[in-house]
Structure 1
């Protein structure tokens, strides 16, 4: 039976609304016109749930951080274990239904909008943490979020690299490389992987480790090859539990002096100390400046209770309009930088959040001034864009650069800085969407032209969706050849080609 017809017939059942809104969603009778859904349901474990449009569970599972080009989903399956994932993939394959995995819905790339009338596989129950007896590795469920990784390990005096934002999943970030606070010590999120349990395009469950030819691809281009149900990663003793931060807020007239100081005092030609990170943002805040955006700078230092004055004195000399300092431990970093689970960045406000990332080596001061002015002018001229911001991420990079570039699919290990305008707006027609995209592309192009880099390097996890395969996965021909060969071998029908597809 045609799947769409079956779904529609079930939705018109006189008790469908009642069943679909039950909290557990385990009640699922066999109706003669709902063969697809009822047969799928019978294959799942007792803790799995199936949700349909109109139900609370369906709405929760399909609400995304960015509304632009959201995937079109007709059914959500909340899996409870990896066997459920196998069954969903097999069943969807048999019925010709496309599928997409979601952890917390933060993947904002527009290519996911190509999924139509699809099955969504919701991974939130796969959030376990199991530390190995030797305390050198831990195994995490495939749907676990960064905060749960950090908290689960911290209780045992351990930590590992996660993305900086608490509400982003470990694997959502990790399969594309994964930048984070501890990367200077240990490398990217994907550099911690020891093995992956993964459901392949044909529905088989495999373990991918260093002995498998997909091992290279999974660390940087992993979204293209399967559904990771669990990952075993390296973990580390917490050697430096205490951290300190200094926040300084500047008006826009300080942009040139600020980024000159960052280049000279923090970045140091790509030799930023391993215990130091800087993070800055252009953001609209009328309470601090009613005319122009302000610039917020965060300086974070590991292993101290107060950020060393040698890293802050040149910035305080610029005359910030606001300053704040605090000490704590590693778990405080997301709160200090407004990336904690309850902060706005983790909330789904119904906005189109579009990012236009670029990797560069150092700040070009005239370009910083120009992008500030263009950004400020744009949000004045178009108030619908005034929720936008501009991110400048300066993690330490020693651990990232210590891994030979050819060892993983992650392509841009030599980069020092990750920059991204985030153009945010409430969708209101094609004209506004085009204006937003044009702004993001203009801001990125200013930085690209000033960088001296011939090639545009974009972090795949932040990509807008129009950048192209080489920009996301590397320009070397051997990289492209290897990725395409593996894609053809392991996913010839393009089952996993909705998130930043290789092909």
Structure 2
């Protein structure tokens, strides 16, 4: 009873004080004196404090894991001790970094402990400039910003504000994947804390099977506190990126994507080229249907005319052009710090599908679905991502747990709407209709990128249709997380 009263008093005090040093009071309140004190740099936040609000604010307001406490960790040992405390008290726990995950399983965390990683966000270049040690709370944009002034680049996301580590664990797509492969392909080793609170290093030589698993299914196996990650010197011509965004009315859809299919079907695709169309609502141009904004990106100072000339010939409504650097690339899609894609407070939903080419009649049907959506969803965007896949497809398919190296396109609606739980079901219904419209008649199985997966997909659709993949993952899950402590994102069962 005395311990329970202490907890109540502590919770009330934290509601007024907001934060408190874990060194001073964490042992006496949360750890019940059964574990060592955490580091001086760690903090704890309870509901009602500003720190708690900041830590639990998510990119999508429709995703609502529930926490009774947030631990802002500063060291690997902080993570270990917090997990051990949670296990001892049968509390769920969840690592938080960028807060961008939208998988429905996140909502299963209730009365949990959030392990906020943002206090661990350093990037240090090592190994004579061939690698970097990146801590688990670092944003993707922070990695690019740390490396670029040093003449370095590496695989990061097409958005600044998500955490860097979680996308690595699911594969990780981005601008440089044609040159360097997926984010997961650039992982040299990871320092991670397992479900029992022990910390290990995983690599090709240490716990090699687990290293295989965390490169594609890593959300299931532990909290990654740091990684050693490949980085690269920028060579001549790699400092600049050229961009051209063509806006077309809907009647140009068939011709635009017929041309894009020609690029996809070439036996040799340039690793410098990404094309990234979107469907967006712009009532000033067309009040009834979405318009097509078709971006062409090229790593270099000028996009070759063979890609831009055919688009100009289709008489776009407008053309936007720029030359920027890697950090500036994310501004074109509103995905840099401070721009709409990084803003919190709205509800967002993703519903991905991988395809081999642009199935034009299906795209036409999806555009019509977008045009008929209720006004509440008018800020939504259809993402049609066509990154270069040269290096991705060169890596043998069994090298990592990432299951979809043959896929050429990543498509998903990005449903965006005011935070309103009454709209969530409608958003899911529309998204599901879009997904199966895109899949219709292709003859392909559904492959859903785990980092975008909604949560109603089968394990085969997320982790691969070859039976051996899921067998191996289930065996490793049983070995490293037998009690399902990491079952809050696309869980393997």
Q: What is the TM-score with the length of structure 2 in the denominator?
A: 0.95
Does residue 484 of the first structure (1) align with residue 484 of the second (2)?
no
**1:45 matched to 2:39:** yes
Mapped to 2, the partners of 1:374 and 1:5 lie a distance apart of 56
SS of 1:460 mapped into structure 2: coil
Counterparts in 2 of 1:115-130, with a 5 A limit? 115-130=109-124
Indicate which of 437, 447, 450 corresponds to 1:446.
437
For residues 423 and 329 of structure 1, what CA distance do their matches in structure 2 show? 29
Matches for 1:19-168 after TM superposition, within 5 Å:
19-20=17-18, 25-26=20-21, 35-36=29-30, 39=33, 43-168=37-162
Determine which of 351, 355, 358 is the counterpart of 2:346. Answer: 351
Bigger drift between 285-294 and 491-500 goes to: 285-294
CA contact (8 A) 1:270 1:416 kept: no
Cα offset, 1:126, TM superposition: 1.1
2:331 is aligned to 335
Corresponding residue of 1:218: 214
> Separation in 1 of the partners of 2:415 and 2:302?
34
Contact kept? 2:10, 2:29, Cα under 8 Å: no
**Cα distance in 2 for residues equivalent to 1:408 and 1:208:** 13
Mapped contact 1:7–1:37 kept (Cα < 8 A)? no
* Equivalent residue number for residue 302 of structure 1: 299
Q: Is the 8 A contact 1:28 1:38 kept in 2?
A: no
State the 1:327 CA deviation.
1.1
The alpha-carbon deviation at position 7 of structure 1 amounts to 5.1
Partner residue, 1:282: 279
Moved more, 308-317 or 290-299: 290-299
Counting matched residue pairs gives 489
Q: Distance in 2 between matches of 1:384 and 1:466?
A: 23
Instruction: Flag the 1:351–1:30 CA change in 2: closer, same or farther, 3 A.
Output: same
In the alignment, structure 1 residue 370 sits paired with structure 2 residue 365: yes
Q: Using the alignment, how far apart are the partners of 2:26 and 2:171 within structure 1?
A: 45
- Residue in structure 2 matched with residue 402 of structure 1 by the alignment: 394
Query: How far did 1:63 drift?
Result: 0.7
- Partners in 2 of 1:461 and 1:31 — Cα distance? 34
Q: Give how far 1:367 is off.
A: 0.7
- Superposition deviation, residue 16 in structure 1: 3.8
Q: Contact 1:29–1:38 (CA<8 Å) still a contact in 2?
A: no
Deviation, 1:365, is 0.9
Is the CA contact 2:73–2:116 (under 8 Å) kept in the aligned structure 1?
A: yes
Q: 1:54 to 1:317 in 2, by over 3 A?
A: same
Structure-2 separation of matches of 1:433 and 1:445: 19
Indicate how the Cα distance of structure 1 residues 7 and 259 shifts in structure 2: closer, same or farther if over 3 A, else same: farther
Report how far residue 402 of structure 1 moved.
1.1
The alpha-carbon distance between structure 1 residues 286 and 275, as it changes in their structure 2 partners (threshold 3 A), is same
Q: 1:173/1:429 Cα in 2 relative to 1: closer, same or farther (>3 Å)?
A: closer
Uncovered stretches (5+) of structure 1, i.e. residues with no partner: none
Change in CA separation of 1:40 and 1:331 when aligned onto 2, cut-off 3 Å: farther
- Does the 8 Å contact 2:62/2:421 carry over to 1? no
Q: 2:23, 2:40 within 8 Å by CA — same for their partners in 1?
A: no
Candidates 300, 307, 316, aligned match of 1:311? 307
Unaligned runs of 5+ in 2: none
C-alpha distance in 2, partners of 1:5/1:425? 42
Shift of 1:31: 10
Alpha-carbon distance in 1 for matches of 2:38, 2:26? 17
Does structure 2 conserve the Cα–Cα contact (< 8 Å) formed by 1:4 and 1:117? no
Q: Distance between the aligned counterparts of 1:31 and 1:105, measured in 2?
A: 25
Shift of 1:487: 0.2
Give the superposition deviation at 1:267: 2.1
How many Å separate the matches in 2 of 1:80 and 1:106? Answer: 21
Match of 1:384 among 363, 371, 376: 376
| Residues 97-106 or 161-170, more deviating | 161-170
Deviation at 1:422, TM superposition (A): 1.4
Contact 2:347 2:420 in 1 (8 A): no
Distance 1:424 1:368 in 2: 20
What's the Cα RMSD here? Answer: 2.1
* CA distance in 1 between partners of 2:47 and 2:231 (Å): 40
For normalisation by structure 1, the TM-score amounts to 0.93
Report SS of the residue matched to 1:334: helix
By how many angstroms is 1:8 displaced? Answer: 4.6
Distance 1:228 1:16, change over 3 A: closer
- CA–CA distance in 2 between the matches of 1:374 and 1:447? 11
